[in-house]
Amino acid sequence: MMLSEYEWQAVLLSLKVSSLAVVCSLPLGILMAWILVRCRFPGKSLLDSIIHLPLVLPPVVIGYLLLVVMGRRGFIGQRLYEWFGFSFSFSWHGAVLASAVVAFPLMVRAIRQSLEAVDPKLELAARTLGASPWRVFFTITLPLSVPGVIVGVVLAFARSLGEFGATITFVSNIPGETRTIPLAMYTLIETPGAESAAARLCVLAILLSLAALLISDWLAKRSRIRLGG
């Protein structure tokens, strides 16, 4: 399947945006999952609902909220631009942010389920032997949660590859800057005579997502074997 320069540009940008979205959100995803599993505090249900809100909100609404908060004239975005000369608006950085926000709940859900399967007695035993909370987390809790972390990473990556509504609302559809695979397909569908190019990108998107899921399943199985599951 031969791709044009335009199509390769969209593919490479999608891989870049999706990868960075996952890498940047992973530490926060692990932290939020751990808080939801191990901590008890007033407002926990509210925090859980806020984290999962992007699953039920229309992507366009998410994009609009990002524009209001993180845009160049947004509540936070304006200060970022004034203080550091940095802006998420109309750049691939904004596409990364939009993808991370939309995919974040899927990552947290997968990691949370894995953390819930970790026996708290193992952590308690390590603490009674003098291990600090940080050491317990990094030597017991996190290693035992690796299969769930892998699943969460791949699900978030696959969701980021398919992100459309929040991205086009927040950072527009700029060739070479924010035009990922879904946005490129949208443009090609609207262009007379470009149906074959849109079909190629569609097939490629399916293959990339399928490969990500197969790799996730393989890595998760290997992790369980190493952990004696």
Q: What is the pLDDT of residues 42-78, one digit of tens each?
A: 989 999 999 999 999 999 999 999 999 998 888 898 9
pLDDT of residue 227: 65
- pLDDT band for 229, please (50, 70, 90 cuts): low
Q: What's at 143, amino acid-wise?
A: P
User: Which residue reads 């990364």 in tokens?
Assistant: 96
Determine contact, residues 141/118, Cβ cutoff 8 Å: yes
Question: Domain spans of the chain?
Answer: 5-36+53-223
Q: What is the pLDDT of residue 39?
A: 87
- How would you label 170-192 residue by residue, b for 16+ Cβ within 10 Å and e otherwise? bbbbeeebbbbbbbbbebbeeee
Average pLDDT over residues 161-172: 92
Cα(228)–Cα(64) distance, rounded to whole angstroms?
46
Residue 92: alpha-carbon gap to chain centroid: 15
Q: What is the pLDDT of residues 71-112, one digit of tens each?
A: 888 889 899 888 988 889 889 999 999 999 999 999 999 999
Distance between CA atoms of 189 and 195, rounded to whole angstroms? 6
- The amino acid sitting at 28 is L
Highest mean pLDDT among 18-32, 34-48, 197-211: 18-32
Answer yes or no: are the C-beta atoms of 98 and 171 closer than 8 Å. yes
Would the pLDDT of 33 be above 90?
yes
Q: Is residue 108 exposed (0-12), middle (13-18) or buried (19+ Cβ within 10 Å)?
A: buried
Question: Which phi and psi angles does 72 have, rounded to 5°?
Answer: -60, -30
Average pLDDT over every residue of 36-40: 90
Q: What is the pLDDT of residue 185?
A: 92
Q: Concatenate the DSSP letters of all residues of 56-114 into one string.
A: HS-HHHHHHHHHHHHSTTSTTHHHHHHHHS---TTSHHHHHHHHHHHHHHHHHHHHHHH
**What is the average pLDDT across 194-212?**
88
According to the model, what pLDDT value does residue 171 have? 93
- Indicate the pLDDT class of residue 124, thresholds 50, 70 and 90: confident
Q: Look up the CATH superfamily of 5-36+53-223.
A: MetI-like (1.10.3720.10)
Instruction: Give me the chain's average pLDDT, please.
Output: 89
Q: What per-residue confidence (pLDDT) applies to 119?
A: 85
How many helices (H) and strands (E) are present in the chain, helices listed first?
A: 12, 0
Which residue shows structure tokens 């490129």? 184
pTM for the predicted model, two decimal places = 0.90
Please report, rounded to a whole number, the percentage of residues in the chain having pLDDT higher than 70: 98
